[in-house]
Structure 1
């Protein structure tokens, strides 16, 4: 952990089908399971959620097909452990089954002061900044983190795919 700061991550996915479509069933039925797993990982700090316990009902970019995820972690290592060393990796590897390609990066990372809880608007603004200006201290992706070792070896897909 970097003393006094945590790592925020915001990622989005465009659902290929409505969430109640049978083709989305396996994904939807496992959201709570995967979120519970993240909540139990050493280094997990916080997740944005509504009364359902997740953020799939929260609208971002005024687009009901975009599913957001906003979390805070103590360190790069904690986030990587969840993304690449748990069942999450299997769902990530099947993302094309449930989600369509986006015009731009699906994930942004940034450092926040310990105790800060970013808003959905903050996440969208950081993602837009990354899309329009590239990686910087303000908004970056996995490839900007030298400590992100699992991302380089265990990820599914090409270097342009940064989803968590």
Structure 2
């Protein structure tokens, strides 16, 4: 068993309230995409709120900001879901329809195996990435860092553009 697992958090800010008709396709896709994530090789855990997703979990004072947080076996497992899973890719390619542009919206970091990060931890890592850029404590797919036990991490090409 690996000593470390990969945590990820991303946030998005809806252009309109989540229940607005303009967001119907996104909201309707959540359960299916989450089920695919959970069935993916290397998936370990994901944040959920009152429902089967985390859209009701507050991460800032802005009610239009929603989180997604999960833990994966390693960078390759997460990248396979994010960049090579067709249902996820089709939603990611449409994100500009639903969400405002954010300069920094996703962060990756290594956690000890079995640790489940909190929203506060994820937001702190996101703030760290925004303040000082990628490093061993907070990084991106394009600039990954090896796990503390030396497990290497290679950059991942963004295929969602």
TM-score by length of 2: 0.90
- 1:103-122, aligned counterparts within 5 Å? 104-122=103-121
CA distance in 1, matches of 2:61, 2:35: 27
- 1:8-157, aligned counterparts within 5 Å? 8-86=7-85, 87-102=87-102, 104-145=103-144, 146-148=153-155, 151-152=156-157, 154-157=158-161
CA RMSD of aligned residues (A): 1.3
SS of 2:142's equivalent in the other structure is helix
How many pairs does the alignment contain?
Answer: 152
CA distance in 2, matches of 1:94, 1:53: 22
CA contact (8 A) 2:4 2:112 kept: yes
CA distance in 2, matches of 1:134, 1:81: 24
User: Displacement, 1:95?
Assistant: 0.4
SS of 1:144's equivalent in the other structure is coil
Question: What are the ranges of 5 or more consecutive residues in structure 2 without an aligned counterpart?
Answer: 145-152
SS of 2:25's equivalent in the other structure is helix
Bigger Cα displacement from structure 2, 108-117 vs 47-56: 47-56
Deviation digits for residues 92-135 of structure 1, max 9, x if unmatched? 01100010112x31100000000000000000000000000111
CA distance in 2, matches of 1:28, 1:16: 14
Question: What are the ranges of 5 or more consecutive residues in structure 1 without an aligned counterpart?
Answer: 158-164
CA distance in 1, matches of 2:49, 2:91: 22
Deviation digits for residues 32-90 of structure 1, max 9, x if unmatched? 11000000001000001123011100011221111100100001111011111111011
SS of 2:117's equivalent in the other structure is coil
CA distance in 2, matches of 1:49, 1:67: 11
TM-score by length of 1: 0.88
